[in-house]
Chain A
Amino acid sequence: MNAIATPLLSVTPASIDQVDWADKHYLVVDDFVGVRQLLRESLRSLGAKNIDQASSGGEAMGLLARVRYDVVLCDYNLGDGKNGQQVLEEARVRNLVNPSTVWLMVSAEKSVESVMGAAEHQPDAYLIKPITEGVLLSRLNRVWHRKQVFRLIDQACAEKDYLRAARLCDDQIAVDKVHELDLLRMKARLMERSGQPTRAREVYERVLAQREYQWARAGLAKIRLANGEFEQARQAFQGVIAENRYYIDAYDQLALSYQNMGKLEEACAILERAAKLSPNSVTRQRNLGHLALRLGNMQMAEKAFRKCIAIGEYSIMKTPDAYLGLARVCGQKNDPKEALQLLLLAQREFVHEHADIQLRAKITEGLVYHESGDYRRARKAGDDLDAMLKASAARPDIPTCLELATLLFAVGVKEAPVELLRYVIRNNHDNPLLLDEVQKIFDKARMGEEGLAMIRASKKEAADLMNQGVLLWKTGKLGEAVAWMRDARKAVPNNQRILFNAAQVMVSCLQQQGYDAALSAEAYEILHHVDHLLPGQQRFAQLMEQLAQLQPALEKGGVAAVA
């Protein structure tokens, strides 16, 4: 191209099919009325007619809950209340926006959060003020084009068919130079989520052969971390930070590496630095609080938990952990009264979203009393917990179970913790690290031998349950195998090996005896449950792909549209 353009020139980049922006529904969010008016004028000159406006995050949420927008222009800095990122997160988590919705985040200057890899929920683009009409149009077109490229991949991801999504990435990489690196990054993540770190590593190395991208370096380091190569991971994450001190995700991972090496002081110091650079992350403040609490640095723990609660006030990402953690801090500072108030508050706040909040609050109450030396009240909390366990068959997650068993032994309750640990083993019979941990809890309670015997018996019980099902399957008795695994699942509802084998048997049954909607749905339900227990497993990805391929043609969402 070598043309003298007239003043009214236009560059046609990379042959984009132009979009009709006039018919779209827009939401403009900014606390400054002048900017809202300006953006509205710009949109009007693109032909837009439907433009809503909000001056705060709260107002924006109200509109998002009622209207499905095609385009959201949201300022990051919205004064008091929710910021732009929190509006985005809540809209995505509550499914108030479509996957096709274009979300542009606007800010006065480049923010730390905009550096790739910082936040879990990313907008489609970050725009820096001032935004002229021309800039707006060209960015809208670019984002729209990118969304077209990723549409089917995102859909496969939403269906958790990661292997299909990865194949779609490969197809696009072959023909799309502009999005090549984006697609490679996506593919690497898909390989990680499918439990195939070796293939993820190949993708990162391919990127690095082109250019020194810190996200690819961080990706390699994460694989080392997952592999247990903590020292190498530490060095690699430190290298990433040395190259770009605003790559916040590397700090969180570096802290994790240190934690795995048992170096809690170092982990804590790194998280503290990260929290200074990017203070508005609920997760980071929570992790910092927990680390500081374990280290006995009550001042830092208190500061982090309080900050976590303050940010959480406007965030969909908030959890009860900061309240429970802060209650522990109050206990250690000999203020059980404030601790109890916090526990009440947590139960009120989270009664709907967290079914186990009462149990967890009671555990914390017991810990607070135990740690402050009030053994009478600690025992009372233990008895209450005993009664709660008897009243319901539901059990909290594994770390909470271990914490609870430890506390119950410590306050002198004997039977309930043994039962609880039996549940833990039966559902994790093939996890040697966890079995060691359980043994240690028994040792500490001076019940080492009973513990050993119980672990052996429970382990065998779960193994027998599984082996019988596998035997039926291997000898071709598919119907009986399905029935057996169904019962096994009832006996041990959270055993990943058994759950995977149950799904496997059902997939075989579907393959050999033909498609059956109810059985397919049952297999999906089981797989989603395992994925919830521990995401990123290879068997999950493989079975999800096999199941998707078994669906009758009409239900194969999107596949027909590829051609």
Chain B
Amino acid sequence: MDETPNAHELFLFLASTAHDMKNSISVLSGTLERLLVDASPRTESAYPQMAHMLYQTKRLNDNLMQLLALYKQVGTPAYPFDVQPLALGHLVDQVVSIERVLLQSRGIQLELDCDPQLIWHLDEDLVVGVLSHAVNNAVHYTCDRVRLAICEQDGWLELRVEDNGPGYPPALLRAGAIATRETAGGVNFLTNSTGLGLYFSSEVAKMHRHRGRHGTLRLENGGRYGGGCFILRLP
């Protein structure tokens, strides 16, 4: 971090502004969720628009969270990274709690496939952030179904978010390959915010280390429904 007093003041200013923006987004998404829960497509003519507003609000929140984490991270691994043991049931529970209203309002089914008792060691806030971001994306690409599947494979935890849409477009798969490759500096932020999300997710993957291995991220088409697959692997 830059040590000049100016940089420190700027940091405090950004932090307090971010705090304020977070409050606003909290209220916005909370209010929308409440309205959606109380309404139904039959009684409320603006229901689809409200659902879309919620989707956009979540995108806004994801981007802000990712920017904040990355802003702090420039140059040094400065995010207060905190690994704890967590039962997968609790992990999935968090993602479902965050996404439930959005999925419902868009008429999308979420399929879960994991052993809730299995314990893994991870930074809960970051991984929940990555998974719910992936589900948000899947909401955009899917037809009517999203699958969250987590299983252990040869000492790795594989977390998959799959959908039954037409699959990721080639440009996105290319962006994914660039954002997630081993050497840093390959990110093309100019394309769109998807680049930010992928870069953030792959940084989160890399932060998770265990006995000389670190996490990875990849995008592909296929999976159970032949649509887009977002695959996070943690050691």
B-contacting residues of A (Cβ < 8 Å)?
Answer: 1-14, 32, 34-35, 37-38, 41-42, 77, 108-112, 114-116, 128-135, 137-138, 142, 177-178, 180-182, 211-213, 244-246
Contacts and interface: CB of A to CB of B under 8 A. Distances in A.
Interface in B82-112: 82-85, 87, 89-90, 92-94, 96-98, 100-101, 103-104, 107-112
Contact of A11 (B18, B85, B93): B93
A38 B110 contact: no
Contacts of A112: 80
B110 A9 contact: yes
B97 A135 contact: yes
Contact of B80 (A111, A177, A178): A111
The 8 closest A-B pairs by CB, nearest first: A13-B89, A134-B97, A130-B26, A108-B22, A34-B27, A246-B80, A108-B19, A7-B104
B152 interface: no
Nearest to B91: A13
Nearest to B29: A130
A449 B94 CA distance: 72
Contacts of B117: 14, 177-178
Contacts of B80: 110-112, 114-115, 246
A141 to B, nearest CB: 9
Given A1-B113, A12-B116, A135-B97, A109 B82 contact: no
Nearest to A212: B210
Given A110-B82, A135-B94, A178-B85, 19 more contacts: A1-B112, A1-B115, A7-B108, A11-B92, A13-B89, A14-B117, A35-B23, A38-B31, A77-B19, A108-B18, A108-B19, A130-B25, A132-B97, A134-B100, A137-B97, A177-B117, A180-B85, A182-B85, A245-B77
B125 interface: yes
Contacts of B115: 1
B83 A213 contact: yes
A76 to B, nearest CB: 10
A137 B65 CA distance: 22
A319 B223 CA distance: 61
Contacts of B125: 110, 128
A34 to B, nearest CB: 4
Interface string B106-146: 01111111111101010001000000000000000000000
22 contacts: A1-B116, A4-B111, A5-B109, A9-B96, A35-B27, A38-B26, A38-B31, A109-B19, A110-B80, A115-B80, A132-B98, A133-B33, A134-B96, A134-B100, A135-B94, A138-B90, A138-B94, A178-B87, A212-B210, A245-B78, A246-B78, A246-B80
A39 B119 CA distance: 30
Contacts of A14: 87, 89-90, 116-117
Contacts, number: 150
A545 B9 CA distance: 53
B113 to A, nearest CB: 5
Contacts of B22: 108-109, 129-130
Contacts of B110: 5, 7, 9
B76 interface: yes
B14 to A, nearest CB: 11
Interface in B166-215: 210-211
Contacts of B84: 116, 181
B70 to A, nearest CB: 12
A109 B109 contact: no
Interface size class of B (residues with CB under 8 A): 35 or more
B34 interface: yes
B19 to A, nearest CB: 4
Nearest to A130: B26
Main secondary structure of the interface of A (DSSP, over half): loop
A116 B33 CA distance: 32
B130 to A, nearest CB: 14
B23 A7 contact: no
Contacts of A131: 26, 30
B79 interface: yes
B61 interface: yes
Contact of A9 (B30, B68, B90, B112): B112
A213 B209 CA distance: 11
A35 B26 contact: yes
Nearest to B123: A110
Contact of B85 (A142, A181, A246): A181
B13 interface: no
A37 B119 CA distance: 36
Contacts of B65: 109
A145 to B, nearest CB: 10
Interface centre among B77, B89, B117, B125 (most CB of A within 10 A): B89
B56 to A, nearest CB: 14
Given A5-B112, A130-B29, A13 B77 contact: no
Contacts of B121: 211
A212 B81 CA distance: 14
A212 B84 CA distance: 11
